């Protein structure tokens, strides 16, 4: 009997002690809003292209933090951004999640009429050119956000994969052992 | 010649490495022959470590042997010279010895068969030149490391001058199986190598020169000892045969007993390592004014009829070399440029050899071995074999799981990709491929991250510009409005005054 | 270019996993044959049943998990596990012990973890330990080797295997078990050791499992493996040192209470364990320093369990405990990287420079 009382008493004491600690901690370290959203926004390419299906990069960040969207939902950011976000939020990405190679805009010379629509739209100033002149894409700056291709009146812009060169080639991962 | 011996205790304590079947004969026993001029040469623009060279000739130009056809770009790069006289047929994509099998930039040359040299600057006593002048002429001759990595030799000399080198090591270990080009070169051109080595000593300002030669090449050791005899600052040292003895840091440790710190250069500990072939090329460049247009290459492998060492023009296609070696006796399972441990497998015989190619191998299926990977049994053979003290099985596990960062934490960056682990693995796990993949992937991600950061900056700058433009527009609008209002008010006032005057 | 990438190295050593397993089995042959010769047909039947059930269990698991059966079975790892398990069982144990042990070893200790190379614990030792804990009576009934004189034919062997139970006249305690009982009764060690001679242990003329009777042949098999570079010397030496050094010290301090080091060395599964069980690649660390800690720890634990534990033999438990520590040892006791300190920081260039001057 005495043992039982000791056990009950000690458990009760431990429980209430921890309860108090937790309660105080919850009050003291309460976080207003979710700081993670801002941190994720800072990681996204800020093109506000809408390819993810959310209103702007902030909307996407909100959705990723809430778990409604995968970190891989941003095509312009690609693998690098997805991995950074996943690492930040502690999510593991599968190997197959990022199968698609990044694409960039390519302008078909023969069809381009030099209307400058794409030039004015491009969020990262990746398109160069002037009125009535052939436009060109600066591949290094293109995020592949697809906004120019949507607005091109002649359909001269297509999204294409970057060709592999010896300089950018990466040795493929060996297949799994049997 | 000073007598230097590796202390036995250091031999005993060295546990790393492997002893692959050497396969050096019969090529190692036969003298070097000239491979002659092929009908077409392709000079790769990226045959040195560092940035690719930029072509300075046009299609249709006639060039002479030793004439500059592509110049170095940036600090780490090397000139490319025409390896015979002839006409430039094309400049652009050509098949290249690269593991991806993707083409690269090259200059295609049709030899005219006359093999006329461009004017050469002959220097009877190059040892009297100033160190800076030696480095300059080495750079002008486009000399790169001939051991395989093809690091521009002049860049190494310049590094050495800056960091106070006391010892130059000549690497004559040639630890890769099959290859015997350095062995033959040391036997046949020991004098050139020693003279070139003295020039390297002068260029770096070092006091000692050690020539490390593996003890499976006794003839080369003898020849080099005879050639080095008059010079007290040069020592020829027998070193134990094991792979990868020819790796720079491992060679320094074996010869001097010091470990160059990881992440730094050999020059940090006052040492610089050059290949014996590089020394010979430096001598030819300074004494005879000859640019680097040819090198010795071992053509060997089970599928080659008559393995041989050949003096080969840079840019010669593999098909020509194989033909000169008696052709193929059977269908090779693999074609390799370089040695079997670290060389590059190429898809066909069209690719040319560059300045860094030490071997051309046509290996049979039996030599390549059965490669169906099975589960890792954690035998630890790779840990024993690794010359750097890594745990290849753990690294491969992490890479397999996609944890590239963790693999980096346990030493991915220190890996030499020497292939010792992959050679011994009883489960046939392609360990080197894992590491090459992880490194490539990490580099690609770094590139992509940098690019995205730049794009981000552009985007933000554009957004800021738009905002500013809108604000300026609004301000302008407001100002115009105010002006107009003021003008109207003034007009009204004037009108009012006029009416008053009228009425008055 | 669609041809698969051909990564370097373009040459391979000839030794494969299958060769390694075959060499280990070859090293076990002499001791096993000696055991058959001593304990007769029942021992052979038990061995065959155990090995077959291990192979069968592996095949079933592979089939069930949809992997290719033939190439994986051909590496011989399942047969080797069964062989080692059979070496550690009482030679006249009923067959169901072998079948059950085999299935436990392969299914629970190996395939559940993901198959070859993924298991944390040594499968043979898991099998033996589970059997020992579950069926203590069957697992401690040793047959005395004098049976040889009386002889058993195959029919008798099958009867023994199916029905179990050794005639009381033929049972005998193993040395360690006997000593534990006698010491427990308060008898001095000299009396307890009466009738056990070291020569017997060497030649194997005493009760015990296949793997413990002939210390000489087991040791020879182990040295064969060392000579063939299948195993290193670190783990065997470390294990035996971890067992013998504390034993020798304790025996010197109190000869009446503690067994001498030679007895520890030659009895039980000490040698089998040192050369064949502790050196199991999968469940032992791969880096040198980790191997030393692993082996010394296993040896010390064996001595502790033998001396103060409830069971006379502690090899199995000691190995399993150190197996659990193996992943940590592999993480913490990594070799020093060339050009770096143990912690991973690069060496000091200035100091190295001074050395070369």
Of B122 and C202, the one with more pLDDT = B122
Any domain includes B414 = yes
- Predicted confidence at residue A149, as pLDDT, reads 83
Q: What pLDDT is stored for residue B75 in this prediction?
A: 87
The answer as to whether C174 is a domain residue is: yes
Q: Using a CB-CB distance cutoff of 8 angstroms, which residues of chain A are in contact with residue B99?
A: 169, 171
Top mean pLDDT of A5-19, B4-18, B99-113, B436-450 is at A5-19
Shortest distance, CA B47 to any CA of chain C (angstroms): 19
| Test mutation, C2, C9, C110, chain B, max B CBs within 10 A | C9
CA B447, distance to chain mean position in Å, is 20
Percent of chain C, pLDDT > 70? 86
Nearest to C117 among B375, B423, B433 (CB): B375
What range does the domain containing C68 cover?
17-332
Say yes or no for a CB contact (<8 Å) between A171 and C71. no
- Does a structural domain hold residue B381? yes
**Mean pLDDT of all residues in chain C?**
84
CATH code of C240's domain: 1.10.3430
Between residues A170 and B66, which one has the greater pLDDT?
Answer: B66
Percentage of chain B exceeding pLDDT 90: 69
Average pLDDT score over residue span C77-87: 93
Residue range A35-98 in CATH 1.10.15.40: yes
Quick one: pLDDT at residue B220? 95
pLDDT, tens digit, for every residue of C20-38?
A: 999 999 999 999 988 888 8
Any chain C CB within 8 A of the CB of A178? yes
Strands (E), A38-171: 103-107, 127-128, 136-137, 157-161
Q: Where are the domains of chain A?
A: 35-98, 103-161
The nearest CA of chain B is from the CA of C27 a distance in Å of 17
Residue C193 pLDDT > 80: no
The predicted-structure confidence for B119-131, as pLDDT tens digits, reads as follows 998 999 999 999 9
Structure confidence by residue, pLDDT tens digits, A92-127: 776 555 556 677 888 888 888 888 888 888 887 888
Task: Name the token pair of C6.
Answer: 């051909």
pLDDT score of A14: 95
Contact yes or no for B265/B249 (Cβ under 8 A): no
Judged against a pLDDT cut of 90, whether residue B134 lies above it is answered with: yes
Which residue from B372, B440, B449 is facing A170, i.e. has the nearest CB? B440
Q: Would C74 be classed as within a structural domain?
A: yes
Q: What pLDDT digit, counting tens, does each position of B460-496 carry?
A: 888 888 889 899 999 999 999 999 999 988 888 888 8
CA distance B408 to B426: 24
Residues from chain C that touch A178, judged by Cβ atoms under 8 A, are 67-68, 71-72
Q: Which residues is B109 bridged to in the sheet?
A: B41, B88
Q: Which residues are registered as beta bridge partners of B316?
A: none
Which chains form contacts with chain C, at 3 or more CB pairs under 8 Å? A, B
Tell me: pLDDT of C140 over 50.
yes
Dump pLDDT digits (tens) for B376-413. 999 999 999 999 999 999 999 999 988 888 999 999 99
Contact check, Cβ <8 Å, B100/C5: yes
Residues of C in contact with A171 (CB under 8 A): 5, 7
Cα of A136 to nearest chain C Cα, Å: 29
Q: What tens digit of pLDDT does each residue of B206-238 get? A: 999 999 999 999 999 999 999 999 999 999 999
List chains touching B (3+ CB pairs under 8 A). A, C
pLDDT at A116: 81
| Structural domain boundaries, residue B386 | 370-504
pLDDT above 70 as % of chain B: 99
β-bridge partners, C81 = none
User: Would you say A120 and B453 are in contact if contact means Cβ atoms under 8 Å apart?
Assistant: no
**Per-residue exposure over B139-164, b if at least 16 CB sit within 10 Å of its own CB, e if not:** bbbbbbbbbbebbbbbbbbbbbbebe
* C345 to chain B, closest Cα gap in Å: 8
Residue B477 lies in a domain: yes
- Which of A40-44, B121-125, B273-277, B304-308 has the least mean pLDDT? A40-44
Going by pLDDT thresholds of 50, 70 and 90, the confidence category of residue C149 is very low
Does B371 contact A at CB distance below 8 Å? no
| Best mutation target, C10, C225, C281, C332, to test chain B (most B CBs within 10 A) | C10
The answer to whether residue C346 sits within a structural domain is no
Interface residues of A toward B, Cβ cutoff 8 Å, are 45-47, 77-81, 83-84, 93, 95, 102, 123-126, 140-143, 164-166, 168-178
Any idea what the CATH number is for the domain that residue B449 is in? 1.10.1060
Q: What is the tens place of the pLDDT at every residue in C249-271? A: 999 998 888 888 888 888 878 89
A178:C71 CB<8 A: yes
Q: For the segment C283-337, what is each residue's pLDDT rounded down to a tens digit?
A: 999 999 999 999 999 999 999 999 888 888 888 999 999 999 999 999 888 899 9
Contact yes or no for B373 and A178 at CB 8 A: yes
Contact at CB, A170 and B455, closer than 8 angstroms: no
pLDDT of residue C2 exceeding 60: no
In a domain, C337, yes or no: no
Task: Identify the weakest region by mean pLDDT among B11-15, B48-52, B228-232.
Answer: B11-15
- Tell me the per-residue pLDDT of B357-380, one tens digit each, with 9 for 90 and over: 999 999 999 999 877 888 899 999
CB contact under 8 A, B376 and C355: no
| Dihedral sign computed on CA atoms, order C302, C304, C305, C306 | positive
On chain A, the residues whose CB falls within 8 A of the CB of C114 are none
ipTM of the complex: 0.87
Asked if residue B129 is part of any domain, the answer here is no
User: Helices C95-103 and C41-64, interaxial angle, to 10°?
Assistant: 30
Selecting from B344, B369, B433 the residue whose C-beta is nearest the C-beta of C12 gives B369
Over pLDDT 90: what percentage of chain A?
A: 12
The pLDDT of residue C197 is 62
Q: What is the mean pLDDT of residues B12-35?
A: 90
List C-alpha distances in Å: B144 to B155, B280, B285, B502: 9, 11, 12, 99
pLDDT reading at B294 higher than 60? yes
Residue C232 maps to a domain: yes
Q: Do C71 and A174 touch (CB under 8 A)?
A: no
Whether residue B234 is contained in a domain is answered as no
Interface contact flag, A171 C5, Cβ < 8 Å: yes
Domain count, chain B: 1
Residues of A in contact with C72 (CB under 8 A): 178
Continuous segment of H or E residues that includes residue B111: strand B104-111
Q: Which residues from chain A sit within 8 angstroms of residue C18, using beta carbons? A: none
CA dihedral over B486, B492, B494, B496, signed as positive or negative: negative
Taking the Cβ of residue A170 and every Cβ of chain C, the question of whether any pair is shorter than 8 Å is answered with no
**Residue B398: inside a domain, yes or no?**
yes
The predicted pLDDT at position C52 comes to 95
State how far residue B436 is from chain C, nearest Cα, in angstroms. 9
For residue A170, the chain B residues in CB contact (below 8 A) are 437, 440-441, 443-444
Subunit contact B458:A79, Cβ cutoff 8 A = no
Question: Mean pLDDT over residues C206-216, rounded?
Answer: 76
CA distance B108 to chain A (A): 19
- Give the pLDDT confidence of B234-258 residue by residue, as tens digits: 999 999 999 999 999 999 999 998 8
- Domain A103-161 classified CATH 3.40.47.10? no
| Domain count along chain C | 1
The pLDDT assigned to C1 comes to: 35
């Amino acid at each position: 009997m005495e043992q039982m009382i000791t056990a009950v008493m000690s458990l009760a004491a431990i429980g209430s002690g921890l309860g108090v600690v937790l309660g105080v901690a919850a009050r003291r370290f309460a976080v207003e809003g979710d700081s993670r959203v801002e941190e994720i926004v800072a990681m996204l390419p800020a093109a506000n292209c809408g390819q993810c299906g959310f209103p702007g990069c902030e909307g996407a960040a909100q959705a990723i933090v809430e778990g409604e969207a995968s970190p891989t939902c941003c095509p312009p950011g690609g693998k690098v951004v997805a991995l950074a976000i996943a690492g930040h939020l502690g999510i593991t990405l599968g190997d197959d999640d990022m199968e698609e190679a990044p694409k960039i805009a390519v302008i078909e010379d023969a069809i381009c009429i030099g209307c400058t629509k794409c030039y004015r739209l491009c969020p990262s100033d990746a398109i160069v050119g002037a009125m009535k002149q052939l436009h060109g894409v600066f591949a290094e700056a293109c995020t592949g956000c697809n906004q120019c291709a949507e607005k091109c009146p002649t359909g001269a812009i297509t999204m294409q994969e970057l060709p592999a060169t010896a300089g950018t080639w990466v040795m493929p991962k060996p297949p799994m052992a049997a | 010649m000073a007598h230097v011996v590796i202390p036995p205790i250091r031999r005993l304590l060295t546990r790393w490495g492997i002893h692959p079947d050497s396969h050096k004969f019969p090529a190692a026993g036969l003298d070097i022959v000239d491979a002659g001029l092929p009908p077409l040469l392709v000079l790769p623009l990226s045959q040195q470590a560092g940035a690719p060279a930029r072509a300075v000739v046009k299609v249709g130009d006639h060039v002479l042997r030793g004439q500059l056809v592509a110049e170095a770009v940036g600090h780490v790069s090397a000139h490319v010279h025409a390896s015979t006289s002839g006409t430039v047929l094309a400049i652009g994509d050509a098949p290249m010895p690269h593991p991806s099998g993707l083409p690269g930039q090259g200059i295609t040359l049709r030899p005219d068969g006359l093999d006329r040299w461009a004017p050469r600057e002959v220097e009877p006593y190059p040892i009297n030149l100033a160190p800076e002048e030696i480095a300059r002429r080495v750079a002008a001759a486009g000399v790169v490391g001939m051991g395989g990595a093809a690091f521009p030799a002049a860049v190494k000399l310049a590094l050495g001058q800056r960091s106070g080198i006391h010892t130059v090591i000549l690497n004559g270990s040639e630890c890769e199986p099959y290859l015997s080009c350095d062995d033959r070169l040391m036997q046949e051109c020991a004098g050139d190598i020693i003279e070139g080595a003295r020039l390297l000593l002068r260029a770096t300002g070092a006091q000692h020169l050690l020539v490390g030669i593996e003890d499976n090449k006794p003839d080369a050791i003898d020849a080099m000892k005879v050639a080095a005899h008059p010079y007290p600052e040069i020592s020829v040292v027998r070193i134990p045969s094991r792979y990868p003895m020819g790796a720079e840091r491992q060679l320094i440790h074996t010869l001097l007993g010091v470990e160059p710190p990881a992440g730094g250069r050999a020059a940090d500990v006052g040492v610089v390592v050059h290949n014996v072939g590089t020394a010979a090329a430096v001598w030819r460049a300074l004494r005879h004014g000859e640019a680097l247009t040819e090198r010795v290459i071992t053509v060997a492998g089970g599928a080659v009829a008559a393995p041989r060492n050949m003096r080969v023009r840079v840019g010669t296609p593999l098909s020509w070399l194989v033909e000169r070696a008696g052709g193929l006796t059977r269908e090779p399972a693999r074609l390799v440029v370089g040695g079997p441990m670290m060389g590059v497998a190429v898809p066909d015989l069209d690719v040319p050899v560059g300045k860094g190619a030490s071997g051309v191998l046509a290996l049979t299926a039996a030599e390549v071995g059965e490669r169906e990977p099975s589960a890792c049994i954690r035998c630890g053979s790779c840990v024993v074999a690794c010359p750097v003290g890594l745990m290849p099985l753990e690294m491969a596990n992490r890479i397999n799981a996609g944890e590239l960062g963790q693999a980096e934490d346990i030493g991915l960056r220190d890996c030499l990709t020497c292939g010792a682990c992959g050679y011994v693995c009883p489960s046939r796990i392609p360990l080197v491929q894992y590491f090459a993949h992880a490194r490539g992937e990490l580099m690609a991600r770094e590139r992509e991250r940098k690019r995205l950061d730049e794009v981000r900056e552009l985007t933000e700058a554009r957004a800021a510009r738009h905002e500013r433009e809108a604000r300026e527009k609004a301000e302008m609008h407001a100002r115009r409005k105010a002006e107009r209002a003021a003008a109207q008010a003034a007009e009204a006032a004037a009108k009012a005054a006029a009416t008053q005057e009228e009425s008055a | 270019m669609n041809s698969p990438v051909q990564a370097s190295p373009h040459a391979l050593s000839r030794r494969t996993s299958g060769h390694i397993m075959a060499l280990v089995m070859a090293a076990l042959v002499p001791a096993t044959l000696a055991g058959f010769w001593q304990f007769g047909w029942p021992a052979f039947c038990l061995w065959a049943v155990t090995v077959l059930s291990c192979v069968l269990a592996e095949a079933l698991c592979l089939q069930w998990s949809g992997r290719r059966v033939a190439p994986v079975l051909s590496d011989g790892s399942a047969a080797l596990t069964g062989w080692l398990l059979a070496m550690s069982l009482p030679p006249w144990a009923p067959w169901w012990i072998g079948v059950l042990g085999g299935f436990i070893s392969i299914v629970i200790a190996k395939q559940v973890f993901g198959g070859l190379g993924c298991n944390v614990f040594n499968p043979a030792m898991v099998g033996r330990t589970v059997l020992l804990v579950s069926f203590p009576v069957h697992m401690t009934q040793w047959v005395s080797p004098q049976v040889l004189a009386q002889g058993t034919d195959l029919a008798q062997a099958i009867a023994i295997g199916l029905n179990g139970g050794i005639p009381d006249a033929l049972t005998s305690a193993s040395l360690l078990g006997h000593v534990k009982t006698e010491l427990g009764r308060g008898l001095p060690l000299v009396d307890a050791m009466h009738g056990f001679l070291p020569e017997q242990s060497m030649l194997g003329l005493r009760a015990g499992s296949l793997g413990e009777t002939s210390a000489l042949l087991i040791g020879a098999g182990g040295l064969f493996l060392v000579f063939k570079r299948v195993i290193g010397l670190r783990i065997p030496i470390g294990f035996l040192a971890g067992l013998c050094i504390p034993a020798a010290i304790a025996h010197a301090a109190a000869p009446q209470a503690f067994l001498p080091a030679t007895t520890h060395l030659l009895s039980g599964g000490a040698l089998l364990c040192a050369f064949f069980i502790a050196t199991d690649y999968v469940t032992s660390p791969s880096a040198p320093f980790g191997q030393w800690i692993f082996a010394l720890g296993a040896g010390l634990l064996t001595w502790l369990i033998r001396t103060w534990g409830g069971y006379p033999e502690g090899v199995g438990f000691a190995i399993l405990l150190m197996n659990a520590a193996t992943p940590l040892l592999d993480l913490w006791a990594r070799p020093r990287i060339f050009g770096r300190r143990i912690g991973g920081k690069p060496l000091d260039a200035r100091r190295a420079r001074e050395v070369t001057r």
